[in-house]
Amino acid sequence: MEDSEDYLRKAIALAYSNAEKGGRPFGAVIVRDGRVIASAVNEIVETGDPTSHAELNAIRIASRTLGSPDLAGCSVFASGHPCPMCMAAMRLAGIKAVTYAYSNEDGAPHGLSTAAIYDDLAKPFAEQAMDIRHLPVRLAGKPDLYAGWRQQQH
Amino acid sequence: MEDSEDYLRKAIALAYSNAEKGGRPFGAVIVRDGRVIASAVNEIVETGDPTSHAELNAIRIASRTLGSPDLAGCSVFASGHPCPMCMAAMRLAGIKAVTYAYSNEDGAPHGLSTAAIYDDLAKPFAEQAMDIRHLPVRLAGKPDLYAGWRQQQH
């Protein structure tokens, strides 16, 4: 039976292997019922896609494997501290546990910490570095977007 | 010259059209230099991918269009209040401005608010609903993962 440290070693090995190929040093695996159902690396360098983090890619693979956006019962093992995007993605997917090996403190001297983004996103919207605006625009002559959608669900 | 309200109307029209096809009622466009460079909808129902939000999909399209993960100079117009995953993704991509039409308050009665996830993610890690663990595992006989990666960058 593999334990958390074994799964982390798999994620770290993926990170090393990705770095050897010129990618960023991040890997992740997703485990369900003691079995690895998804493995992924950071593919930003390869794809140019800024959302292509190891954990997000692993979530995408796991959801395809299970045929569902609901990953309840899955655990994530990530080589590095997940960024706020990936942490939120895990929550949206119903994932209840994440374990990581390299901390943001480990990453900071090498430009690999997301602590500053965490700090900024924790501020009230009006104080964040990004300009976040609410303009309550509506399309004329249409039923309410959300109420209409909800009615369809029944 | 189109203004913010025009871009929001495009995002909302995408949301209506997606809902009409059975998808979730969310759309987003990304604008650069007065031009829409990416349009996307929420594709969770279609793909089963829990990360397939309109804003995240639009970021992926924009990065492919521009051939770069750096979307500085781009603005996002979203039909609904972006969730924490998408908000963080914008930050990672260097996006400086986002405007949305439907608020989390508009969404709450219909199960379409992410305010609760925002609240939970704003707590210290130890108090969040997800179990977040740091196990400083390292692979034996290897140079440091992050220091080694950084050396390669030169």
Is the Cβ pair A59, B51 closer than 8 Å?
A: yes
Statement: residue A1 has pLDDT above 80: no
pLDDT of residue B1: 63
Q: What is the full DSSP assignment across chain B?
A: ---HHHHHHHHHHHHHHHHHTTS-S-EEEEEETTEEEEEEE--HHHH--TT--HHHHHHHHHHHHHTSS--TTEEEEEEEPPPHHHHHHHHHTT--EEEEEE-HHHHGGGT---HHHHHHHTS-GGGSSSEEEE-----TT---HHHHHHHHT-
Supply the pTM of this predicted model: 0.97
Residue A2's pLDDT is what?
82
Which of B71, B61, B80 is CA-nearest to residue B32? B71
B55 in active site: yes
Portion of chain A with pLDDT greater than 90, in percent:
97
Q: 31-90 in A: which are within 8 Å (CB) of B?
A: 44, 48-52, 56, 59-60, 63-64, 67-71, 79, 81, 83-85, 87-90
pLDDT at A57 over 90: yes
Nearest Cα residue in chain B from A43: B69
CA dist B104 and B84 (Å) reads 12
* The pLDDT of residue A20: 96
Among all residues of chain B, which has the CA nearest to that of A71?
B50
Give me the torsion for CA of A51, A57, A58, A64, rounded to 10°: 130
- For B13, the closest of A22, A103, A139 (CB atoms) is A139
pLDDT digits (tens, 9 = 90+) for A46-56: 999 999 999 99
Run means of pLDDT, 10 residues per run, chain B, 154 residues? 92 98 98 97 97 98 96 98 98 97 98 95 94 97 95 85
Tell me which of A57-61, A150-154, B49-53 is least confident. Answer: A150-154
Nearest to B119, CA basis, from A85, A70, A124, A75: A124
Confidence of residue A33 (pLDDT cuts 50, 70, 90): very high
Q: What is the tens place of the pLDDT at every residue in A68-117?
A: 999 999 999 999 999 999 999 999 999 999 999 999 999 999 999 999 99
Q: Does B98 touch chain A (CB under 8 A)?
A: yes
Average predicted confidence (pLDDT) for chain A: 96
The string of DSSP codes covering B64-105 is: HHHTSS--TTEEEEEEEPPPHHHHHHHHHTT--EEEEEE-HH
Task: For residue B71, give the nearest of A19, A50, A85 by CB distance.
Answer: A50
Give ipTM to 2 decimals: 0.96
- Chain B hits for A87, CB-CB cut-off 8 Å, are 121, 130, 132
Nearest to A110 among B60, B117, B149 (CB): B149
Q: What is the distance between the alpha carbons of residues A32 and B131, in angstroms, rounded to a whole number?
A: 15
